[in-house]
Amino acid sequence: MQALQGQIPTRVQVGEWHKKQKAMNDSLMLTKEGGCHKINAIKVYFNHKYVLGLVIYYKLNDGDYLKAGHNVPKEKKILKKSNKIQSRVFEIGPDDYLLEVAGHYCPKEKVISRLTLTSYRGKIGNYGSDIGTPFCYNFKDYTFGPLTSGYRDYLEFLDFPVIPVPASFLRELNPVKVNINISDQTQRQQKVQYKKANDYSNGVSNGNGNFDVQNVPKPAFQGVYVKSQPASSYGSVVRPNLNISGQQPMSAQQFSSPQQQPFSYNQQQNNNNNYNNFQQPPVNNNNFYQPPVNNNNNNNNNNANNNGTFKSNYPTF
């Protein structure tokens, strides 16, 4: 029952069809109503062991809704406590689609014991028990169309066509992600530049052997040292001549100590300029059996409100 990997089938089927079953084909009625836009909701009837029936709510192309029953139990049967029948609605939003149909199938009893439904936006519904063999149908960028079913007391056969999801929905669901956070990138560059500048001043090579500075010593004092003597040793205080090699004396405002002179990191500046250009590293489907369909067969419960179709402006679950 599983689809082959890498291939998208036109239809998927769960269970086996045989002549004793009653059938319901939703696509026939939907074609008369102008076509189906999507599955809007699925109501599941189940007990502690098996799935009894379904009601599929379709949204039509004209905006109306149509519900189709597949072995819907009578109200009297549902209310009987010994039957333990429950019903749950798996609603799919207007901006969502059915992504996965999974569950369990009992090949010996030939009934479906569990249904697990998942939407593209992550909504999940589990209905039934874990008896039997698991199955799962999930095709990326595809969803499921109108249901054809076969049933007696319980739901025994499911047939879904596989159809593409609208491209507009996929673009909304998976928008193109563009990194436009320039400030974060600039901050990362500044951090790396700051680290490289510290490495340079500490004499650490950048791997290219472009510099080798180790503990730069302070320049020696270029003035004239005068040994101090008591003033009484001279008739007058001797002042040294600071006019060296014919240069004019320097005033206090003009003179600055070598420690205050700026140190030029030419090689480091070249490395920083180069870093400004930093960039981030950059199935053969013909073998499916199509069961005969009799949409007018309501012998299961003789109630047109249970099985069959009903059109309305908005679905009532």
Is 0.85 surpassed by the pTM of this model? no
DSSP state string for 171-188? HHHSPPP----HHHHHHH
Residue range 8-25, pLDDT digits in tens? 999 999 999 888 999 999
Work out whether strand 111-119 and strand 98-106 pair parallel, antiparallel, or are unpaired.
antiparallel
Residue range 257-296, pLDDT digits in tens? 444 444 444 544 454 444 445 444 454 445 555 555 554 4
Residue range 202-240, pLDDT digits in tens? 555 545 545 454 555 555 555 555 555 554 444 454 555
**Architecture, CATH, for domain 11-175+283-312:** Aligned Prism (2.100)
The domain segmentation of the chain, as residue ranges, is 11-175+283-312, 180-215+264-279
Whether 104 and 57 have beta carbons less than 8 Å apart is answered as no
Provide the 8-state DSSP code for 49: S
Per-residue burial over 2-11, b = 16 or more CB atoms within 10 Å of its CB, e = otherwise: ebeeeeebeb
Residue carrying structure tokens 């680290």? 195
d(CA 278, CA 90): 51
A 10 A CB-CB count for 185 gives 14
Is 127 or 6 the better-scoring residue by pLDDT? 127
- The answer, yes or no, to whether residue 39 has pLDDT greater than 90, is yes
